[in-house]
């Protein structure tokens, strides 16, 4: 299966369980690997024959910036559902990270894979 990538999408949103984490938006880094057959677009060179990654990214950004989840796990699940509602996406790998969330680490996060039933 082919893959469409969105790497290091930086959004600012409320995520976390402590009052300090919930007081202000913080950086959230999102990576997507969308499994799709891109062969038709490879032949036609027409955006209508593939998944428009810009549209997916904009919807994911808007959601992550406004939802205010407590855990990266829940946000990753939400993002997977958003991606899978787009025609042509058969599966998705979602990684959600919080930079600087743990002292002496670059970031912490989760990575999940979900597929159409």
Distance CA 35, CA 11 (A): 23
Q: How many beta carbons lie within 10 A of that of residue 71, not counting itself? A: 13
Active site residue 98: yes
The model's pLDDT over 19-77, given as tens digits with 9 standing for 90+, comes to: 998 999 999 999 999 999 999 999 999 999 999 999 999 999 999 999 999 999 999 99
Q: What is the DSSP string of 20-45?
A: HHHHS-EEEEEEEEEEE--HHHHHH-
Q: How many beta carbons lie within 10 A of that of residue 114, not counting itself? A: 16
Q: Domain 2-115 is in which class?
A: alpha beta
Q: How many beta carbons lie within 10 A of that of residue 104, not counting itself? A: 5
Catalytic one of 7, 85, 98, 117: 98
Map out the domains of the chain as residue ranges.
2-115
Cβ contact 49:73 at 8 Å: no
pTM of the model: 0.95
């Amino acid at each position: 299966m082919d893959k469409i990538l969105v790497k290091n999408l930086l959004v600012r949103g409320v995520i976390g369980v402590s009052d300090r984490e919930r007081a202000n938006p913080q950086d959230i880094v999102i990576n997507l690997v969308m499994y799709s057959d891109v062969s038709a677009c490879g032949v036609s060179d027409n955006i209508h024959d593939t998944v428009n990654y810009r549209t997916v990214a904009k919807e994911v950004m808007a959601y992550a910036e406004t939802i205010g989840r407590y855990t990266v796990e829940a946000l990753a699940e939400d993002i997977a559902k958003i991606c899978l509602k787009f025609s042509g996406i058969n599966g998705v790998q979602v990684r959600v990270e919080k930079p600087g969330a743990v002292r002496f680490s670059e970031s912490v996060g989760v990575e999940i894979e979900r597929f159409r039933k």
